[in-house]
Amino acid sequence: MIKKTFLGLLAIGLIAMSCSSDDDNNTSTTSDLILNLEGLEALGADYVYEGWIIVEDEPVSTGTFTSVAFPQVFSVDASQLASATRFVLSIEPAIDPNPAPADTKILVGDFNGASVSANTSIVGDFSNAAGSFFLRTPTDESGMNNGNDEYGVWFGTPGMPPTPNFVLPTLPAGWAYEGWVVGDSGPLSTGTFTEFNTADSAAPFSGAAAGPPVPGEDFFENVPAGETFPLDVRGRTVVISVEPVPDDSPAPFVLKPLVGTAGNDTAPATHAFDQNLGSLPMGSVTRN
């Protein structure tokens, strides 16, 4: 009886050791991925940032976040992290049925040893960004040369018709340009666009007459709270931003490659944009 009991306990012990060994073999180890980014801004309630490492040309999520205070640390499968060749940061729906990265990829960088220098080159190269705008009110029903051209802003070179003059990259899917004039109570959108030689997506404040084949806006109709229309654009800040698509915020996004100040002269005078590359997020990513 003692011998049978001993053999039974031995068998149970061997089974337990076997299970323990299997558990050890199935336990994956993790390593830290440290994000130390700057220039990002908080997203609306419907969106989050998500990090990705590229392993054998496939994206692997490193986790989502909403806070833009850094550094932040994420636990990632150690073998995948060691094999990763690139880091990508995207903007994703907070409730996301698609496991793949969205088109709105904002930061990218290749691993050089244990670290990545992340930048916005995945959105576009803005190092040569340039352009100009002019003051004119083509949507005023009273017609051209009406003496009130200080109430409109259009992007390009005036003419019959006006022509585009932006030096800006063609944006990838997931992004669009948007024009802004800073009013008395905040920025006023002139509409989004992806092409420079056509009208933009909206004319929220323009008059009833047709506008020119370039992006821009007159400020006559649908006056927002805190503003006085017609809006005199002279002396005001004019901005070109890069916006995520879709976009749940009515304010300009953090990417603002061009900023200018409208002068006192109306068309045919033009006013130049200055580069604002300091608005572009950047940072480092490190694997331990």
Short-list 59, 28, 111, CA closest to 287: 111
Q: Cβ–Cβ contacts within 10 Å for residue 288, how many?
A: 11
What sign for the dihedral angle of Cα 197, 203, 206, 208? positive
- Strand, helix or coil at 110? strand
Q: Which two tokens stand for residue 267?
A: 């068309």
Given strand 86-93, what is the order of strands in its sheet?
58-65, 47-55, 86-93, 105-112, 115-118, 282-287, 30-38, 72-77
Q: Which two tokens stand for residue 188?
A: 């006023």
Short-list 177, 172, 182, 166, CA closest to 201: 177
Model pLDDT, residue 143? 57
- Strand, helix or coil at 17? helix
Given strand 237-244, what is the order of strands in its sheet?
187-193, 175-182, 237-244, 255-261, 274-275
How remote is the C-alpha of 12 from its chain's centroid? 59
Model pLDDT, residue 284? 98
- Domain regions of the chain by residue span: 30-124+283-287, 130-272
Task: Give the pLDDT of the chain (288 residues) as one tens digit per residue.
Answer: 433 333 343 343 433 333 433 444 445 799 999 999 999 999 999 999 999 999 999 999 999 999 999 999 999 999 999 999 999 999 999 999 999 999 999 999 999 999 999 999 999 999 999 999 999 999 997 655 678 999 999 999 999 999 999 999 999 999 999 999 999 999 999 999 999 999 999 999 999 999 999 999 999 999 999 999 999 999 999 999 999 999 989 999 999 999 999 999 999 999 999 999 999 999 999 999
Please tell me the total number of residues recorded for the chain in this structure.
Answer: 288
